[in-house]
Amino acid sequence: MCRKNGKQTFYMTTGIRALVCDYDGTLTQERNIVPSALRDTLRELQANGYMCTLNTGLPYPMVPFKVGRQFTPNAAYMMEAGGRIVTPEGQTYYVAPMAEDEIAALDPYLARENLRMAAFTPVSGEAFFVYTTDPESVRARYRSPEGKQFPDEWLLTDIHTFRHLIREKGAVRVAMEGSDDSFAIPTNGDMPGSVTRNSATYEVRSEGVNKGEVIGRWAKAHGLDLSQIAICGNDLNDLDMFQTGVGMKIRVGTDCLQLAEYATHQVTDAEELAVFLQNEFLS
């Protein structure tokens, strides 16, 4: 988002066009841009007096972002923009990237297939994740918490598609075309967590624990297939659930979509988290 003299805002929308509006939202300029040219575009705007802000609150380009080749075009666009999108309607979206080593720590299948993950989280706290190898071949099916599957399918290339998907309090099932593999991802931050093999749901609240690294290392040491373990973030600030941070919460189990009562378990360090996982999954 870029402002000039407090009266104009540069809104980045779908990755193929950009809108410059007056402070009251009146469209004053529309221009076509592509992800590869976005950095130059933002620098040009900055040189002309616009202040461009990242999700960190720092002026662009103080915080660089790498763009994965396998991100959707829209995700790549937002990554180049610094991870933040403000639509002309005023809705703010964030993009949380995921490093290859973090993917490897979470799921060997994702790492083996060289997949990428982007997390789109509006400020309301709802969130979902997109796994993709070929943006044009990925389709999302909408699935409600009750398991009802809607027939509509969308290509995941447009911010308006994402806005439509996350309005409902359900989950998005993302599948790679030509493959039977799919991933069920909760979209509602208030949704109860995942279910363990004992049909009890646990929430792990970690204080300063790198959860992805710890869980990945623990599961590998015990020969577990991480595809059987679901890790669900449910904190508004947990844009990337693999980042270390105080107050972040995750839910660990086998099915993020299963609704159930859950107990809360708080851990303060990596060793305690490993002990908790050991007891719940192997006892």
Q: What is the pLDDT along the chain (283 residues), one digit of tens a residue?
A: 445 555 444 444 333 333 333 333 333 444 443 334 444 555 555 566 554 432 222 222 212 222 222 222 233 333 333 334 333 344 444 433 333 444 344 333 333 333 333 333 222 222 333 333 333 322 333 333 333 333 333 223 233 333 333 333 233 333 222 222 222 333 332 222 222 222 222 333 333 344 445 555 555 555 554 444 444 433 322 222 332 222 233 444 433 333 222 333 434 444 555 555 555 444 4
Q: Which two tokens stand for residue 34?
A: 């592509």
Last residue of a domain, one of 186, 217, 245: 186
Residues 178 and 219 in one domain: no
Cis peptide preceding 122, ω within 30 of 0:
no
The pLDDT score that the predictor gives to residue 8 is 44
pLDDT computed for residue 105 by the predictor: 42
In a domain, 192, yes or no: no
Q: What is the pLDDT of residue 272?
A: 52
C-beta separation of 70 from 133 below 8 A: yes
pLDDT at 41: 53
pLDDT at 45: 54
- Is the same domain home to 177 and 134? yes
**Which domain covers residue 127, as residue numbers?**
100-186
Relative to beta strand 262-267, strand 201-206 is parallel
Please check whether residues 79 and 112 belong to one and the same domain. Answer: no
Instruction: Give domain status of residue 278, yes or no.
Output: yes
Contacts of 177 (CB under 8 A, 6+ apart): 134, 137, 138, 139
In terms of domains, do 254 and 210 share one? yes
Q: Is 46 helix (H, G, I), strand (E, B) or coil?
A: helix
Same-domain pairing of 51 and 86: yes
170 and 222 co-located in one domain:
no
The structure's pTM equals: 0.20
pLDDT at 72: 28
Q: Does residue 150 belong to any structural domain of this protein?
A: yes
pLDDT value of position 222: 56
Q: Is 196 domain-assigned? A: no
108 shares its domain with 50: no
Give the residue from 67, 91, 115 where a domain finishes. 91
Domain count, the chain: 3
Q: Per residue in 256-275, is it b (16+ CB within 10 Å) or e — as a string? A: bbbeeebeebebeebebbbe
Same domain, 105 and 87: no
Q: Single out the residue in 186, 218, 243 at which a domain terminates.
A: 186
Question: Same domain for 273 and 226?
Answer: yes
- 193 within domain boundaries: no
In a domain, 195, yes or no: no
